[in-house]
Copies of this chain bind each other. A is one copy, B any other.
């Protein structure tokens, strides 16, 4: 399973060198992560309201291969790289929409948090139904073996 988000780089995404200010890429990773959960059938609202959980951030990382420029069209490709009982890793890949060239690659390591009380977020085990949905998404990755890893 791979979700795709299309976007166009805006003036306000640029820094004084005329290239994308790098925290923006993380904003798009986060937006694409939310879309990914929705596409596989466990949108944030359902996770939060039905299961009382969110997938909070443990660690993020990003490599910058080419600088994004004004009004360039890009695609953010997101898929599950890794899954275990307490969390998962999403892999994000930003490419030029026209030339398909790699621009950015990064990951978000997210952990399952009990968010019933948002003032006291705490680590939790992924609910069974949610876990199965994620496992299926992992198995559906193009060109990947269907084994979930234990990280």
Contacts and interface: CB of A to CB of B under 8 A. Distances in A.
B58 A30 contact: no
A50 interface: no
A30 B23 contact: yes
Copies of this chain in its oligomeric complex: 4
Interface string A62-73: 111001001100
Given A10-B30, A21-B30, 18 more contacts: A10-B27, A10-B31, A11-B31, A11-B34, A12-B15, A12-B23, A12-B30, A12-B31, A16-B17, A17-B115, A18-B119, A19-B118, A22-B30, A22-B57, A26-B26, A44-B70, A57-B64, A60-B61
Interface of A: 10-12, 14-19, 21-24, 26-27, 30-31, 34, 38, 43-45, 54, 56-64, 67, 70-71, 115, 118-119, 121
